[in-house]
Structure 1
Amino acid sequence: MEVFDYLRTLLQFTIGLITILNPIAAAAIMVSLLTPPVSKRELVSISKKTTLTILTASLLSTFLGDLIFKLFDINIHSIKVIGGIILLLFSINMIKGKIFEASHTPEEHEEAKEKDDISIIPLGIPILFGPGTFTTLVIFKTSTHNWIDLFILITAIFISSVVVFLVFKNAVLLDKFLGITGVKITTRIMGLIVGAIASQFIVSGVKSLWDMY
C-alpha cells in the first residue's frame, strides 16, 4: 500500500511541476525568439542550458527556499495562502490563453530578442522558473515528512527537467504541429490544473491558520 502512496505522491509532484512550468508554451516563446532557420544543434544547445538552469534553480529552491521564510519567521501556512494566490493569478492568465502574461512581461520578451543567448534569461528564468514555480517547490518541500518524501520530490524535479529538455529539443516540430491555437488550448488546460492546485494551497493554508488562531 505504501508503494502506491509513494507513486501517487510522485505523480502529484511531477504533474504539479510540469503544469506550472508549462514547457509547451515556453517552447512556443523560444521559437518566436529565434531567428529562422533554426538548426537542430542550436535547439539542443539551448535545451541543455535551459534545462540545467531550471534544474539548478529548482534544487536550490527545494533545499534553501523554506529557510528564507524561516529566517523572517514567516509561517508556512501563510506561505501556502499567498503562494496559492500567486498560482491562482497565473492560472487565470493561462486559462485566458495569455501565454506571455503567464510567463513573463512583454518588455522582457522584447529585450530577449536582442540577446544572443536566451537559454538562461529569459527562457530558464523567468519564463520557466518564475515565482509560481518557486512557490510551488517551497510548498511541496514543506509537505515532505521524511527522506523518502524528499527523494520523491527530487525525482519529480528531475523528471520535469527531462520533460522540458525533450519538449524544447523538439520545439520547432511541436510549434508546427500545434500552432498557436494548439498551444493556447494546452495552456488553458494546464491553467485549470494550476488553478486547482492553487485552490488546495489556499484552502489548506486558511484552514490551518484558522485552527491556530
Structure 2
Amino acid sequence: MVFTTRAFVTFFTIIDPVGLAPVFIALTAHLNEAQRRAVITRAILISAAIIAFFALVGRFLLDRLGITLYAFNMAGGALLFLVAVEMLFGRSSGTRRTAAEEEEAMTREDISVFPLAIPMIAGPGTIATTILYVDQALPDPFKLFSVAAAIAISLLAAWIVMRHSIWIMEHIGRTGILVLSRILGILLAALAIQFILNGTLTFIHTSGLLR
C-alpha cells in the first residue's frame, strides 16, 4: 500500500497535470476545439508510448551502459529534486524546456509531440521515475500493476486537465495552480531526497564500507 501510494504521488507530481493547463492554453490559442482535442489525444498517446518503452527496456539500457541501480537512484533523485525546486520557486531548472525550445514551440505546427509529449509530460524526470519504480517493483506483479496504474491515472488526469483547461483556469486561476504546484513540489522534493538516500545506502552496503 505504501509503495502504491508513493508511486501515484510521484508520477502525479512529476507529470503535473494541473500545471499543464496554462501551458496548453497558451500553446493552442490559435486552434479550434476539434484541433485541440486531436492535439490532446496525440500528446497523451505519444507520452504513453515513450513511458512504456523506457519501462520495458530502461533497465536493459542501464546494464548495457554499465550504470548501477544505486547510481541511477542518486541521479534520478537529483533530477527530481531539480524539478521540485522548479515547482517550488517557479524557476526554470532546464529539466523541462530551455529558452530555445520555448521559442521553437511557438513556431512548430504540431505541438502534440513537442513540447507537450516531450518534455512536458514524458520528460527526463518522468523517464527516470519510470525506470526507478519499475526496477523497485520487479518481480512483484502487484507492484508492477501499481506502477502501471499510477502512470495511467496520471496520464488520464493530464488528458482531463487539458481537455477542460479553460474551465480550470476560469475557476481555479493561476494563483490556485501555483499554490497546488508548490504543495506538490514539497512532496516531490522529499521523495527525491529519499531516492538519493536509498541509492547512497545501497552503495554503502554493496561496497562493504561498513565492514
- For the criterion TM > 0.5, the same-fold answer is yes
Q: For residues 172 and 42 of structure 1, do their structure 2 counterparts lie closer, same or farther at Cα, with a shift above 3 Å needed? A: farther
Q: Distance in 1 between matches of 2:9 and 2:26?
A: 26
Question: How far off is 1:96 after superposition?
Answer: 0.2
Contact 1:99 1:184 in 2 (8 A): no
The yes-or-no answer on 1:159 pairing with 2:153 is: yes
Any idea what SS the aligned residue of 1:35 has?
coil
Counterpart mapping for 1:56-67 below 5 A: 56-67=49-60
Question: How far off is 1:147 after superposition?
Answer: 2.3
Q: For residues 175 and 107 of structure 1, do their structure 2 counterparts lie closer, same or farther at Cα, with a shift above 3 Å needed? A: farther
* Equivalent residue for 1:35, pick from 25, 29, 38: 29
Q: Distance in 2 between matches of 1:57 and 1:27?
A: 21
Counterpart mapping for 1:27-106 below 5 A: 27-36=21-30, 39-98=32-91, 103-106=96-99
Partner of 1:206: 200
Contact 2:8 2:150 in 1 (8 A): yes
The yes-or-no answer on 1:132 pairing with 2:125 is: yes
Any idea what SS the aligned residue of 2:166 has?
helix
Q: Distance in 1 between matches of 2:9 and 2:36?
A: 25
Any idea what SS the aligned residue of 2:18 has?
helix
Q: Distance in 2 between matches of 1:119 and 1:89?
A: 25
* Equivalent residue for 1:142, pick from 135, 139, 151: 135
Structure 1 portions without partners, runs of 5+: none
Which deviates the most, 130-139 or 155-164? 155-164
Q: Distance in 2 between matches of 1:82 and 1:210?
A: 16
The yes-or-no answer on 1:192 pairing with 2:179 is: no
Q: Which amino acid aligns with 1:133?
A: T
Q: Which amino acid aligns with 2:126?
A: T
* TM-score (ref. length: structure 1): 0.89
Contact 1:80 1:139 in 2 (8 A): yes
Contact 2:28 2:36 in 1 (8 A): no
Give the root-mean-square deviation of aligned CA atoms: 1.8
Contact 1:81 1:206 in 2 (8 A): yes
Measured against aligned partners, the alpha-carbon deviations of 1:91-131 in whole angstroms (never above 9, x if no partner) come to 11110023785631222122111122201111110111111
User: How many residues are matched?
Assistant: 206
* Equivalent residue for 2:169, pick from 164, 167, 175: 175
Measured against aligned partners, the alpha-carbon deviations of 1:58-95 in whole angstroms (never above 9, x if no partner) come to 11111111111011221101100111111111111110
Contact 1:97 1:187 in 2 (8 A): no
* TM-score (ref. length: structure 2): 0.90
Q: For residues 102 and 95 of structure 1, do their structure 2 counterparts lie closer, same or farther at Cα, with a shift above 3 Å needed? A: farther
Q: Give the percent of matched residue pairs that are identical in Structure 1 and Structure 2.
A: 24
Structure 2 portions without partners, runs of 5+: none
Question: How far off is 1:176 after superposition?
Answer: 2.3
Measured against aligned partners, the alpha-carbon deviations of 1:15-72 in whole angstroms (never above 9, x if no partner) come to 2101001122122111112225x54323321211111111111111111111110112
Q: Which amino acid aligns with 1:146?
A: D
